[in-house]
Amino acid sequence: MTLNDGQMSKLQQLSQSCTAPLREVQRARILCHYHAGETIAGIARALKMTRKSVRKWIDKALAMGADAALQDAYHRPRAPVITEEARAWVVHLACSKPKELGYAAELWTRSLLARHVRREAAQAGHPSLSRAAKATVQRILAEQPLHPERVRYYLERRDPVFAVRMRDVLLVYQEVAWQNEAPPAGPQRPPIITVSVDEKPGLQAIANTAPDLPPVPGKHPRVARDHEYRRLGTCSILAALDLHQGHVTARVERRHRSREFIALLKDLDQYYPPGCIIRIVLDNHSAHISKETRTFLATRPNRFQYVLTPKHGSWLNIVETLFGKMARTFLRHIRVQSWEELRDRILLGIAEINAAPVVHRWKKFDALASASQDTV
C-alpha cells in the first residue's frame, strides 16, 4: 500500500480521534498498522477484530484507495416510501400561495403545508404522504432548499430610460464637484446653481401623555418615557439642499401639493440672485410636474431647470442624506405639544444646520461608466 505524507498524516490523526465515528477510527488504525508492515493476523490481535474484517478493509483500500476505505458505500436497504413524484408534488405546492388553494394565509407555514399535504395526498395520487408530519415536509423542502414562509423584497425596474436618467444626474453631480474644487472666483455665485429637492412626508407630531423623567446618576441611566402618546397630525418637510454651499431652504407644511411645492420654488427664487439659473435635481412626483406648477414655471422663463431622477431612483437624490441627518439628530425621539411646535422645532433644526453648513458630495461615480456603456 502506497500512501503519501498527506494521506498518512490524515490516517494517523483519525486513528487517534475521540470525536470521529468509531468505524472510521478502526479502519484508520487498520491501514496504519498495515502500512507499517504488520500482518493481517497481527493487526487482528492488536485491534481485537476478526481477520475477515481486517482483510475486508485492507482489500478495499488496495482496490479503491485509502480514502474510499474509510467510508461506507451508499446503499438503500429498501425502496423509499415517499416517491420522487410525491416529493415533486410537495415542492410544487410550496411554490404556490395558500390563498390560491382557498386559505386565508398569504404564505405557507410548515404546519399549514403539512396539513394540506395530508388532506389532499390521496386525491392527488400520492397516498404515501397521507400521514406526512411537519418534519417530513421540512426534509423535502430542505433538499431544494425552499423557504416559502420567507419574503425577500426586490424592485422591478419600471423606467425604460433608467440608465439614461441616472447618467444625467451623475453628470450633474460630477460637474458640481468640479465647480466646488475650482479656486473661488470671489463672492459671485456660479451662473448655474444646483440644488437637490425632495420631501419627507408623513412625519408625525406626537405628544406625551405624561412628562418625561430625566436620568438620575447612579440610579436611572436613561430618560424614562410613558408608553402612551397622542397623535396630533402629520407634516411634510419640503427641502432644497444647495450642493455648492450646503445651505438648506425648507418649508414645513401639513400637505404636499402643487401649491406647497410652488411656495418652495418662490423661496428659492427669492434667495438666489436673479441672474443665475437654478438647476433642480428632483423626482417625478405629481406636484413637481403638475399643470399648476408648469404655469408658475412659465412665469419665470429660464429661471428653473429640472434634472429628473429615474423612477425608483430616490437614492440618487443627495437631499436624502440631509433627511437622514435630520432623522439622526433633532427629529430623533421628538415629542411636542402641538403641530405648530413640531413645525417650529424643525425650522429651528434647519436653522442650526445653516449656521454651520456642510457641503454634501457624491463620491461614487463608478456607476457613471456602466451607465455610459448601457446607453451606447
Q: Compute the Cα dihedral for 35, 40, 42, 48 and give only its sign.
A: positive
Q: What's the mean pLDDT in 242-263?
A: 95
Q: What's the mean pLDDT in 249-263?
A: 95
Which region among 132-146, 274-288, 355-369 has the lowest average model confidence (pLDDT)?
A: 355-369
Checking if the pLDDT of 77 tops 80, the result is no
- Per-residue pLDDT tens for 14-34? 889 998 889 889 999 999 999
Dihedral of CA atoms 298, 304, 310, 315 in degrees, nearest 10, equals -140
3-state secondary structure of 41: helix
Checking if the pLDDT of 252 tops 80, the result is yes
Q: What's the mean pLDDT in 267-274?
A: 94
Express as a percent the part of the chain with pLDDT over 90. 68
Residue 235 vs residues 43, 134, 249, 250, 340: alpha-carbon distances, Å: 85, 49, 16, 13, 10
What pLDDT does residue 184 have? 65
What pLDDT does residue 185 have? 59
Q: What's the mean pLDDT in 187-199?
A: 84
What pLDDT does residue 363 have? 84
Phi-psi region of 302 (alpha: psi -120 to 50; beta: other; left: phi over 0): left
Measured between alpha carbons, how far is 255 from 258 in angstroms, rounded to an integer?
10
Checking if the pLDDT of 255 tops 60, the result is yes
What pLDDT does residue 42 have? 92
Q: What's the mean pLDDT in 214-238?
A: 94
Express as a percent the part of the chain with pLDDT over 70. 95
Checking if the pLDDT of 305 tops 50, the result is yes
Checking if the pLDDT of 186 tops 60, the result is no
What pLDDT does residue 247 have? 96
Give the ranges where 329-364 is alpha helix by DSSP (H): 339-355
Q: What's the mean pLDDT in 268-294?
A: 93
> Is the N-terminal amide bond of 160 cis, ω within 30° of 0?
no
What pLDDT does residue 376 have? 41
What 27-34 contacts at long range (C-beta under 8 Å, 24+ apart), as own/partner pairs, is 27/57, 27/69, 27/70, 28/70, 30/54, 30/57, 30/58, 31/1, 31/3, 31/57, 31/58, 31/61, 31/66, 31/69, 32/8, 34/1, 34/58, 34/61
Checking if the pLDDT of 280 tops 90, the result is yes
Q: What's the mean pLDDT in 60-85?
A: 81
Between 134 and 163, the more confident residue is: 134
Binned at pLDDT 50, 70 and 90, residue 3 comes out as confident
Residue type, 242: D
Checking if the pLDDT of 66 tops 50, the result is yes
CB 195 within 8 A of CB 279: yes
Burial of 339: CB neighbours in 10 Å, binned 0-12, 13-18, 19+: middle
Please tell me the total number of residues recorded for the chain in this structure: 376
Average pLDDT, the chain: 90
